[in-house]
């Protein structure tokens, strides 16, 4: 799933797995970039 930034492809990858088998870890933020940068400053991001 992390091989692409394509939202529809990512959604299809998640949909292909049964809910019980999903191992979800993550955080989605929607805000102005400067606000998000301030919140996540110093955090380790996915490579």
Is 11 within the bounds of a domain?
yes
pLDDT at 47: 66
What's the CA angle centered on 39, arms 45 and 26, to 5 degrees?
40
Q: Which two tokens stand for residue 21?
A: 């088998």
Q: Please tell me which residue, 40 or 5, carries the higher pLDDT value.
A: 40
How many domains, the chain? Answer: 1
pLDDT in tens, 8-28: 888 888 899 999 998 877 778
- Which residue segment(s) compose the domain that 18 sits in? 7-40
In a domain, 2, yes or no: no
Residues 40, 29 contacting (CB under 8 angstroms):
yes
Q: Is residue 28 part of a domain?
A: yes
In a domain, 47, yes or no: no
pLDDT at 45 over 80: no
pLDDT above 70 for 2: no
**Assigned domain for 27 exists:** yes
pLDDT in tens, 29-42: 899 999 999 998 99
Q: Is residue 31 part of a domain?
A: yes
Q: What is the pLDDT of residue 1?
A: 63
Q: Is residue 45, in this structure, part of any structural domain at all?
A: no
């Amino acid at each position: 799933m992390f091989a692409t930034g394509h939202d529809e492809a990512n959604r299809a990858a998640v949909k292909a797995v049964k809910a019980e088998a999903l191992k979800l870890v993550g955080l989605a933020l929607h805000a102005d970039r400067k606000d998000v940068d301030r919140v996540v400053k110093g955090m380790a991001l996915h490579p």
